[in-house]
């Protein structure tokens, strides 16, 4: 399944809009948009709404590609297991990508 960033890039490219041009239309930096398309960052609700409008796509359809765990679930996990919070902070600090985490989990699953 495609990620949110991949879907945004796909729709942008279908409309033949450059990344810089699209960022300008959204009133955000090209660097931020690039990070969104690479799944390094996620847009706010406001920016996601602007993206959806520019791409003629509903916010709901775009959100279907957002594979992040809901914030409440993350808060619950870290509250019940402080080590999980430490692990998540290290992932963020080391700029580990989502695909790297998925690859790591696949390796762990194969060992079991």
**pLDDT, tens only, 16-58:** 999 999 999 999 999 999 999 999 999 999 999 999 999 999 9
| pLDDT greater than 90 at residue 1 | no
Closest by CA position to 12, among listed 47, 52, 70, 66: 52
pLDDT at 25: 97
Number of C-alpha atoms within 13 angstroms, CB side, residue 33?
A: 20
Is it true that domain 4-63 has CATH number 1.10.260.40?
A: yes
pLDDT at 29: 97
| pLDDT greater than 80 at residue 72 | no
Domain boundaries, given as residue ranges, for the chain: 4-63, 71-111
Helix (H) or strand (E) holding 39: none
């Amino acid at each position: 399944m495609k990620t949110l960033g991949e879907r945004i890039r796909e729709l942008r490219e279908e409309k033949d809009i450059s990344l810089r041009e699209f960022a300008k239309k959204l009133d955000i930096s090209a660097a931020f948009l690039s990070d969104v398309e690479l799944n390094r960052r996620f847009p706010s609700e406001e920016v996601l709404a602007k993206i959806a409008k520019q791409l003629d796509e509903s916010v709901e359809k775009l959100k279907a590609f957002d594979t992040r765990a809901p914030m409440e679930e993350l808060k619950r996990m870290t509250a019940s297991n402080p080590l999980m919070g430490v692990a998540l902070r290290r992932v963020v600090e080391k700029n580990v990508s989502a695909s790297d985490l998925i690859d790591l989990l696949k390796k762990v699953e194969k060992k079991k």
